[in-house]
Amino acid sequence: MRRKYVIAGNWKMNKNPTEAAALIGELKPLVNDARCDVIVGVPFVDLPAALEAVKGSKIGVAAQNCHWEKSGAFTGEISAEMLKSMGVEYVIIGHSERRTYFGDTDITVQKRVRAALDAGLTVILCVGEYLEQREQGVTGEICAMQTKIALGGVSGNEMSRIIIAYEPVWAIGTGRTATAEQANEVCALIRDTVSGLYGSRTADSTIIQYGGSMNASNAAELLAQPDVDGGLIGGASLKPADFAAIVSSADNA
């Protein structure tokens, strides 16, 4: 049986609360009949507005990060428990921009994953290689290592609250996109990694998204691949019509 598609938007550092509510207001009627899961990942300051705006719809709300401690002297950070108390359901962890610009490592990603699961959140876990690593032929090793470390201490039962997003760093915000075959190859490798950790049954049910510049024009081809179960969408998620077109591609895949 085919896994359910999940289309998640990552708004990154865009939109104030008023703009966030307006964007969701435009999006709601466009995805009201979607069969796939639809998620918007918004900046921290937009979470209250987004949670209010999605009421009466099937759109879920994700935060873009969380800290691994419940509380403490961590100026500027937000805990998973804080997110859960607001009604947030999902959190994006390990995005390449967090790893590249803000010091996230494989170990801190693992700690954030653990904290999010303990708080009852569903995790969108990002893994992916840089262009130099792809050119060196170590894409498989990099993605498998990131996956294994991030899932350290995660039980088989908890994998139902893990969505993995394969994000080739060289294709994020660059306009470059992995071919459908390249995307599927790495998603399949990640699934094999999960199988090695938890067995084939868990691996077969794990949702693995592609997250490298998926847009309205290439979504159908990418989502037709057997191991691509959705998308973590950047720029196109800020355009309701484009994001809805990707959702439609998932529904028709």
Residues classed as catalytic: 95, 167
Residue 60: phi and psi, rounded to 5, are: -95, 160
- The Cα–Cα gap between 39 and 35 comes to 13
Q: Which of 79, 78, 77, 36 is nearest to 58 (CA)?
A: 36
* CA 221/CA 97 separation, integer angstroms: 26
Residue 50 near residue 76, CB atoms below 8 Å: no
Other Cβ atoms closer than 10 A to 79: 19
Q: Pick the closest to residue 37 from 90, 113, 115 (CA basis).
A: 90
Vertex 65 angle, CA 8 and 93, to 5°:
65
User: What one-character-per-residue DSSP string does 122-189 give?
Assistant: EEEEEE---HHHHHTT-HHHHHHHHHHHHTTT--TGGGGGEEEEE--GGGSSSS----HHHHHHHHHH
Tell me the residue ranges of DSSP E strands in the chain.
6-10, 37-41, 59-63, 90-93, 122-127, 162-166, 207-210, 230-233
Distances (CA, A) of 71 to 60, 94, 115: 25, 20, 11
